[in-house]
Chain A
């Protein structure tokens, strides 16, 4: 961020610059490329699953339950005789949609609130107390309570996982804003009578984006895991439509007998989260080396 103190190029130019940095670092950083590729493969497999001619992930066949892997069912079947391979592939859709949506929503809301609180002291005092309160409630417990309150559905799970993340994003954005507010060029802009929204959008916002993108990858990775935790305690997405989390939650009873029900979705989930985290680490290293301090 040191460059921003010297020059203040236009938003578009800087974003283009960042994009170049990312492409460039992808070439130089093989682990990041690896992370991104694995993630894309996982996403691709999940979203083409409906077109592969697999059995429907919802089609039950109670008499063919808990079958071992075979040519007809690569991963075997679950306790309702549903095709586990099909369920695991399709399950990526819900898991990834949850992960990405939570990341996007938490960042968007967090950014908006963070910009405002960072720049307006009076709003700040009130909003930050509220954020502190929200943050002091363990996020998973809050999410469980919210799902229990709103009912089990994919949008509700997304919202329930988003809300506890917002204060953390707000803090990050706010710290960047507070740091920038005292920079000469911002002070100069204020003195020149530039309107607050304009300052926020033109001078402050671009600088919050690199750390936010990195933060978003971690939120995404964590949301995929938390979705599984919610299912595990009985407050997850409706299990008829598979997600990696609810496949494991529904089949967890069988772990010592038919470990496949847990291990296959578990492996898909772990590989995906691993890929997201690796990608995030790579992004962090290339976008902002100084951010290594906030793991």
Chain B
């Protein structure tokens, strides 16, 4: 542990002092008397059901992955990619060959050193599952280990997003696993969790639906830089982390207030006044980038196969209605955000957003009439067990009814929805017209990671929109390396998006996190990271 890690430079000064104190004490660990094991008790946002972060895209499994695994590159708070396991990298003159060197001291939890061949196998497995990974693999000729410490990635054509892909912060993250695990068929789950990250997964104590236990990995050597998003030094300051899944939101907030748990990842905004009445609890928006609500249309079936009907829907809804319904307190959402690629992101722009900003029922009705809407029922999937999505479904239903559409809400649970949204048949035959969901800003920040703007027809994300112009602009974006030129492409793209309407962004909101004041060093990041946190 080095002194560079003492500073959580994002935190307020008071906490910085407190943290410096803790770390200093920890630094003297050998001399100090054996302290009781420090435990951080967390209520995560969901139950960890799958432990293979390549096999599934679930955010909870990604968060689990960050505790256990490490990455070659990582995104920092400026949304720039920094080396993490990598010592550094070199790009050949022609821009086609990337040579990556691993830093010293990397060890897997089973005691074996991390080698380049492990990284190669991990990248290959990830490249078969992840959307961005698949794109990268399409332009990749080979990934090879040169020696134990060096690997090369050779492209067949220039590609602007090599590091952005390898340093991807959200699902699926290219985590590095031992080769023996990474050789698992990407369509099957790995059966053992051995990583080289700051915490070890305690398999014996894992109880799906109840608890997940991690313990500090003594062999982890953090980087010297301060922690910044997924980049920088990942210093484990607690001996043990316990995830306790509490399905009932009311019970979970009571548990936090009673001090039975220390950290509640996603308390409902509506419960904050009650939680904050306890002076021992801090509420903080840990993810500064936020989340984007998404109302997705089905392009295969009427009426939303018609562009005019989708435009009518755009005029009929208002983001504030969604945001009040699902978040309640305006402190935690933007009154309006017209950027498909997030407000506050590098590609924020307001181009073309007027139909979304203004609510004009007459105009919407006129568009419907022009489209010749004949009262075809509109099936909106309504996952009643997920409050955010349920709220989006209800608000959409009312907005569409207000312009004279015939709406059917199909109540179901989230798990059933993940199946039903893949049904390509007509809504009357078990399909759908609209489903509600959301994406973290880190996933929506650019036209490549934002898969809801992919418009490659049958190969696109659920809803299967087809639009060659949008696809061409996305490809142009991927090849471009200059930020200003990328921005110009995004402006053109967004204008087209507001005309084509692949989905409705229902608003940008910020999920607060609540923790007790014995918890110090909570990092600001779009993913809840548990390194750098200490417990008093």
What residues make up the interface of A, taking CB atoms closer than 8 Å to B?
58-60, 62-63, 65-66, 79-81, 148, 151-153, 234-235, 237-240, 250, 252-257
Contacts and interface: CB of A to CB of B under 8 A. Distances in A.
Contacts of A238: 382, 384, 409-411
A255 B411 contact: no
Interface residues of B, number: 33
Contact of A235 (B324, B394, B413): B413
A254 B387 CA distance: 12
A252 B250 CA distance: 7
Given A240-B397, A255-B250, A234 B325 contact: no
Given A152-B384, A240-B397, A252-B248, A80 B410 contact: no
9 contacts: A58-B398, A62-B325, A66-B328, A148-B413, A152-B410, A252-B249, A253-B250, A256-B250, A257-B273
A166 to B, nearest CB: 26
- 8 tightest Cβ-Cβ pairs between the two chains A and B: A238-B411, A62-B324, A62-B325, A152-B411, A234-B385, A253-B249, A257-B274, A255-B250
A253 B271 contact: yes
Contacts of A253: 248-250, 268, 270-271, 387
Contacts, number: 85
Contacts of B321: 60, 62
A234 B324 contact: no
Given A62-B321, A65-B324, A253-B270, 13 more contacts: A60-B395, A60-B398, A62-B395, A80-B391, A151-B410, A151-B416, A153-B411, A238-B409, A240-B409, A252-B248, A253-B250, A254-B271, A257-B270
Contacts of B394: 60, 80, 240
B254 interface: yes
B412 interface: yes
B325 A79 contact: yes
A151 B412 CA distance: 7
B390 A239 contact: yes
A239 B409 CA distance: 10
Interface in B255-272: 268, 270-271
Nearest to B274: A257
Contact of B384 (A66, A250, A254, A257): A250
A63 to B, nearest CB: 5
A66 B384 CA distance: 19
Nearest to B398: A60
B430 to A, nearest CB: 10
Of the listed residues A62, A80, A254, A257, the one surrounded by the most CB atoms of chain B closer than 10 A to its CB is A62
Contacts of B250: 252-256
Interface of B: 248-250, 253-254, 268, 270-271, 273-274, 320-325, 328, 382, 384-385, 387, 390-391, 394-395, 397-398, 409-413, 416
A234 B384 contact: yes
Q: Is the interface of A mostly helix, strand, loop or mixed?
A: loop
Nearest to B415: A148
Contacts of A62: 320-325, 395
Contacts of A80: 325, 391, 394-395
A257 B274 CA distance: 7
A65 B398 CA distance: 16
Given A60-B398, A238-B382, A238-B384, A65 B325 contact: yes
B274 A256 contact: yes
Contacts of B391: 79-80
Nearest to B412: A152
Contact of B382 (A59, A65, A237, A240): A240
A60 B325 contact: yes
A66 B387 CA distance: 15
Of the listed residues A66, A153, A240, the one surrounded by the most CB atoms of chain B closer than 10 A to its CB is A240
A132 B391 CA distance: 42
Contacts of A254: 250, 270-271
A79 B410 CA distance: 20
Contacts of B274: 256-257
Contacts of B253: 256
Nearest to B271: A257
B328 A79 contact: yes
A256 B275 CA distance: 10
Given A255-B250, A257-B270, A257-B274, A234 B395 contact: no
Given A60-B394, A79-B328, A66 B411 contact: no
A148 B324 contact: no
Of the listed residues A58, A80, A153, the one surrounded by the most CB atoms of chain B closer than 10 A to its CB is A80
A255 B249 CA distance: 10
A66 B391 CA distance: 14
Nearest to A233: B385
Contacts of A59: 398
Of the listed residues B322, B324, B390, the one surrounded by the most CB atoms of chain A closer than 10 A to its CB is B324
A256 B278 CA distance: 14
A112 to B, nearest CB: 32
Of the listed residues B254, B271, B384, B385, the one surrounded by the most CB atoms of chain A closer than 10 A to its CB is B384
A148 B416 contact: yes
B324 A63 contact: yes
A81 B391 CA distance: 11
Of the listed residues B273, B322, B410, the one surrounded by the most CB atoms of chain A closer than 10 A to its CB is B410
Nearest to A249: B384
A271 to B, nearest CB: 23
A254 B253 CA distance: 11
Nearest to B414: A234
Contacts of A255: 250
Nearest to B430: A151
A255 B271 CA distance: 10
Contacts of B390: 239, 250
Contacts of B325: 60, 62, 65, 79-81
A79 B395 CA distance: 12
Contacts of A153: 411
A19 B211 CA distance: 58
Contacts of A252: 248-250
Nearest to B273: A257
Contacts of B324: 62-63, 65, 81
B333 to A, nearest CB: 11
Nearest to A239: B384
Contacts of A234: 384-385, 413
A80 B328 CA distance: 9
Nearest to A262: B250
A94 to B, nearest CB: 13
B6 to A, nearest CB: 39
A282 B391 CA distance: 44
A84 B397 CA distance: 19
B245 to A, nearest CB: 15
B406 to A, nearest CB: 15
Contacts of B412: 151-152
A151 to B, nearest CB: 6
Contacts of A240: 382, 394, 397, 409, 411
A234 B248 CA distance: 12
Nearest to A64: B324
B495 to A, nearest CB: 29
